[in-house]
Structure 1
Amino acid sequence: MKHFGLAVAFLLSVPLTLPADARTVVTQNKPALVSTCKSSSSACVREAASKCGGQYRVIDSESHAGGLLGDAVPGPVTWYSMTYQCGRSDGSSPRFVFRGPAYNASNGNAPAGGNNASDMTDYCRGEVAGAYNTRPRNVTVSSPMRGVAGGFVVTGSVDLGANGNPPFQCLFDAYGDFQSIEWL
């Protein structure tokens, strides 16, 4: 009976596995929600606003490579994840910094992007379009330029009509492999 009690205590201490798009976690002893969205960070933002009825506080956000149906293994689709608590916002916005291994179709588990300028600009355009839930033709990008540590930087802006043209930069490593998007 003692072992049964320990097993129950252990099972109760393990988080329940709920659908990845809205599972509940505990942060600083306060309930929080996690939204995971495929191909568009704005979908996570919309989901948080909907679930919270408006305001929420961002605790963490990230993006990572995954497949079409799931994000357990790096693949050609960018997945976005945001942890948040409903209630008054502290003014911080999600950044969706890229974490974890990236994807490369050539070997199945290396960063995407390839070594040529066209791949980097196209990849950057697609990532930004997905983040803003807009068409790639609304994203203007520069040719890759050498950045810090021998990597490359692709800069640009997104035409959001009446909402302006927010600038960004996509960072790539020395091999032209995608690393992250920085919103400027």
Structure 2
Amino acid sequence: MKHKILSLLLALALIFPVLGSLYSTTDAQAAWTDTALNVTIHSRNVSGLSIYDANGNVIPNATVTPNKDFASTSARRDTTSGNVFYKIADNQYLSSQEVLPGIPNLVVNSISSIVTTKAGDTPLYDGNGVLVDGESVKGDGSWFTNKQVINIENGSTFYQISPNRYISSDYITGYYAG
């Protein structure tokens, strides 16, 4: 009986890589970052806009209605190419290139945590992830944060430490969820 189970496991181990290759994407180098959000996006007023699958591949014969609002609960960013796709239905995404400008690229999460900064001065950023010229805090300290901001276009993460002042994750050495 043990030999039959072992033989079955070995056969499955040989079959699964073959099955996996049948469903591979055209972009084997893509690495994805998913970000939860709650936004309304608006498609450009152009007919024939493609709908993409979760791997960034065009779904044949599937197009989006031009000049239409869509509720999106997540965004996928290809960390290799930087392309961003907004989820509009199960396994259906609209490229950010096909969305009217003005869609926020920042996702705000409410958290309750402590962040610890690296030694040295730590520069401060505003709520849009823009460096505040001439403002910093002393490093090697711990700060309470109740807000995390993620830029879905470049993956940058910031933690609020005071009203409209944030620390970049590039300067964080520790994160302790509360």
Query: What's the TM-score once normalised by structure 1's chain length?
Result: 0.28
Q: Taking CA–CA contacts closer than 8 Å with sequence separation of 6 or more, which of the two structures ends up with the larger relative contact order?
A: 2
Give 1 or 2: higher strand fraction. 2
TM-score of the superposition, structure 2-length normalised?
Answer: 0.29
